[in-house]
Amino acid sequence: MKYLDEFREKGLARPLVAELKRSVTRPLRVMEICGSHTMAIFRNGLRSILPEGFTLISGPGCPVCVTSASHMDAFISMAERPKVRVAIFGDLFRVPGSNGSLANASSRGAKVDIVYSPMDALELAVRNPEDLVVFLGVGFETTTPGIAATILAAKNRNIKNFTVFSTQKVMPPPLIALLGDPELKIDGLLCPGHVSSIIGAGAYQPLADTYHLACVVAGFETTDLLNGLILLARQVGQGVAKVENTYQRVVNWEGNLRAARMVDEIFEPTDMEWRGLGTIPGSGLAIRPKYADFDAQARLDIVLPHTTEAKGCRCGEILKGKSIPTQCPLFNTRCTPQNPIGPCMVSSEGTCAAYYKYGID
């Protein structure tokens, strides 16, 4: 596949592995914000050959992992209403609420449709005029513009039975919340690739300046990741803290302004609950009153239940980078992919799922 295969070439990757080893001149702790980075690093086998002294901590960039238990419970109760059909990304299907998942609800008769794109959910609404379709919105800045465009398309096409339940989140606020914690000692951030294509590499400059952090934007192929890790090691070795972009073919400094305008048209900032981090002001997006017809929370009577996290579950600590899965008493005992307690285990890119799947003993 073009623009993919070149960046996976073994002949290019292997020398970069050697270069990475040379670049680690002092120990460093880097937070990988993006769940897809966590997955890619495990999957490519990079985790197993990371040089001594380079510690990677997974952060809150897994949209499914940070979906609060009370939001999951609200999603599930929505799915169970008659004449409602929920449409979801596959990632959400097995995430547990306090009492089962959407998969369990589906087996009890709830109408749950897995879609690849929010536009598929709109077509679902057109095909099923007798149901109210609720698209369960999760995701960060990469996903939100498409959801916004879908709402606009629904309005332009005058579709009356399509709504979105927005739990969309934005990226810098939780990082600022985490970085304010003196116990979290990190030297740098491995910044997300595709979120950055929307918000721009410049979004991390305030973090580099305020917290003296090396910030490197990286893509997802083996050579992209190695590139990112090398530059992080070099910056920390030199005592430098700046923003570098190694994913130039997709990311620029300013970001995607057209996408930003689309999001701004449909959504406005709101406070949002993050699993493990609590409610962070201005870290989420709500549908503007102008588009209330497409807002599931405005059209339906939705009460967010007050749900407590499962006892012993350390997902919150793990998302803050304070614990690793093997330190959680439930990991690989009561909590496994077949029987997940918290989203970190269910989500395909959750830290615990990655540790379990890719074989940490």
Nearer to other proteins, 247 or 303 (CB): 247
Cα dihedral 302, 121, 38, 325 in deg (nearest 10): 40
Cβ closer to other proteins: 301 or 316? 316
Among candidates 167, 163, 187, which has minimal Cα distance to 238?
187
Binding mask 63-102 toward other proteins (x if CB under 8 A, else -) reads: xx----------------------x-xxx-xx--------
Amino acid at 169: K
Q: How far is the CB of 76 from other proteins (least distance, A)?
A: 17
Options 178-186, 240-248, 284-292, 321-329: segment touching other proteins (CB under 8 A): 240-248
Is-contact 240 214, C-beta < 8 A? Answer: yes
Mask for 129-148, x = binds other proteins (CB under 8 A):
----------xx-xx-xx-x
Q: Which stretch binds other proteins (CB under 8 A): 10-18, 74-82, 280-288, 324-332?
A: 10-18
Q: From the list 174, 193, 316, 342, which residue makes contact with other proteins (rule: CB under 8 A)?
A: 193
Whether 190 and 31 have beta carbons less than 8 Å apart is answered as: yes
Tokens of 303: 């009460």
- Distance in angstroms (rounded) separating the CA atoms of residues 252 and 329: 42
What tokens were used for 151?
């709402």
Residue of 108, 130, 182, 258 that binds other proteins (CB under 8 A): 258
- Contact residues for 255 (Cβ-Cβ < 8 A; gap 6+): 196, 197, 198, 199, 200, 202, 203
What is the Cα–Cα distance from 302 to 305, expressed in whole angstroms? 9
- DSSP, collapsed to helix, strand or coil, labels residue 270 as strand
Query: Rule CB under 8 A: which of 19-38 touch other proteins?
Result: 19, 34-36
- Check binding of 116 to other proteins (CB under 8 A): yes
Q: By CB under 8 A, what part of segment 262-281 binds other proteins? A: 262
49 near other proteins, judged by CB under 8 A: yes
